[in-house]
Chains A and B, each alone.
Chain A
Amino acid sequence: MSHNEKDGVNRRHALECMIWAGTGVVWTMSGGVPTSTLLGAAKAADAGFSFLQISDSHVGFDKAANPNALATLQEAVAKVSALPAKPAFMIHTGDITHLSKDEQFDNAAQVIGRLKLDAHYVPGEHDIIDENNGKAYLDRYGKGTKGYGWYSFDDHGVHFIGLVNVVDLKAGGMGNLGAEQLAWLADDLKGKSPSTPIVVFAHIPLWTVAPDWGWGTQDSMQALALLSRFGSVTVLNGHIHQIMQKVEGNVTFHTARSTAFPQPAPGTAPSPGPKVVPAGELRGLLGITDVVYRPGAQALAITDTTLAS
């Protein structure tokens, strides 16, 4: 699959594998329909509200693919601060840190804190590799959550569900929700009207992007079955450091780009490890793109804008 923007990406290809480099995405809920607006082109929401997604900051990462992941997180935060309309809150879809070290959590919190937004987190696998297997994350972000850190909340009539799919991974498998979390989800959704807009966010994609790279969640079908009766479901993930989107029935799946470093598209490299690009091209890849979509509608607008531009 070619990712050369000069190819004149056709609509089908764009739908299959959208390449936009979002350091952050602003989501606008309007009439129960979520619309994403990339940072560079964000406008004030006429109706409804907007929220921000940041993902895969990997604070502490200092290898060739990006010698200073904290600096690019700062740049992402600066982009958000410049938005004409302040998002109602933000979600972070995991891999806040690279190695779950206290200093890395502290640095990330300090930078993200400049946004002065309520922030809702879910952990990535990099956030639970402290000596106590996730205690460092839960001490910071686990308040009011269940299990390894899952929870839900309501905002502007939208039901938000943060899931954890990076714990207790099974040999040969992918992401894992587990029976306890699925039971909680069933209970959480009980009594909710099918017209309630649902936004689910978790680190690893909740659909299978690339099984040989572990890019999927092995028991996600059970979660999606519980969500099938709802008219509007939006699933926001990270982990794969690139944008991919899929619409299936009432469910829109979307992955955000990293603020730290790109990863290769499936099938284009021997492994999903960090993609090293010439230093001058990194911010071009971390640039932002405007994607506006409406579930159920054909119209889909994608505009690439790089940070370098």
Chain B
Amino acid sequence: MNTMKRVTRRGGLLLAAALAVTLSANLSPARAADGPQAAKVTIDNFAFTPASLTIKQGTRVTFVNHDDIPHSIVNASGKFRSKALDTDQSFEFTFATAGDFDYFCGLHPHMKGKIIVTPE
């Protein structure tokens, strides 16, 4: 009986895990597919790190603000623009097309960064 119970429980857990994977895949297919194609830019001390980031087309980049002061992510050509990010808030953008994308902080424009997107 003990053995049976244990097996059943494990089976249930596996089923739950499988369901969870299926659910998350259904709810946000892009995110699930992103797995290896995700990158991060952090903001510390009024600077983007890395200041220049090279990624493959289709990569989702997460910008995270670690400063005590809000910052924003603005592309001068209007391809992307975040709201002001307070401490530890983040902004995500998927770079679907290849090219060079300069950006800056809309509040402190001396802060500049660049995303270089290479074709797949």
Interface residues, chain A, with chain B CB atoms under 8 Å away: 63-65, 98-100, 125-126, 129, 131, 169-174, 211-214, 270-274
Residues of chain A within 8 A (CB-CB) of B102 are: 171
B68 within 8 Å of A (CB atoms): yes
- Given A171-B104, A173-B109, A273-B46, do A99 and B68 touch, yes or no (CB 8 Å)? no
Do A64 and B109 touch across chains, with their CB atoms under 8 A apart?
Answer: no
Instruction: Give the CA-CA distance A170 to B87 in the complex, in Å.
Output: 23
Residues of chain B within 8 A (CB-CB) of A211 are: 110
Residue among A125, A172, A271, A274 making CB contact with B47, cutoff 8 Å:
A271
Residue among A65, A129, A131, A172 making CB contact with B109, cutoff 8 Å:
A172
Q: For residue A6, give the distance in angstroms from its CB to the closest CB of chain B.
A: 28
Do A273 and B109 touch across chains, with their CB atoms under 8 A apart?
Answer: no
Residues of chain B within 8 A (CB-CB) of A170 are: 76, 109
Instruction: Give the CA-CA distance A99 to B84 in the complex, in Å.
Output: 8
Instruction: Give the CA-CA distance A64 to B83 in the complex, in Å.
Output: 24
Residues of chain B within 8 A (CB-CB) of A271 are: 45-47, 67
| 8 extra A-B contacts, CB within 8 A, seeds A126-B70, A212-B110 | A129-B72, A129-B107, A169-B109, A171-B109, A172-B104, A174-B110, A211-B110, A271-B45
Residue among A64, A126, A214, A270 making CB contact with B110, cutoff 8 Å:
A214
Task: Report the interface size class on chain B.
Answer: 20 to 34
Q: Which 3 A-B pairs have the closest CB atoms?
A: A129-B84, A271-B45, A271-B46
Do B70 and A273 touch across chains, with their CB atoms under 8 A apart?
Answer: no
Residues of chain A within 8 A (CB-CB) of B112 are: 171-172
B86 within 8 Å of A (CB atoms): yes
Instruction: Give the CA-CA distance A214 to B107 in the complex, in Å.
Output: 10
Instruction: Give the CA-CA distance A214 to B69 in the complex, in Å.
Output: 15
Residues of chain B within 8 A (CB-CB) of A212 are: 110
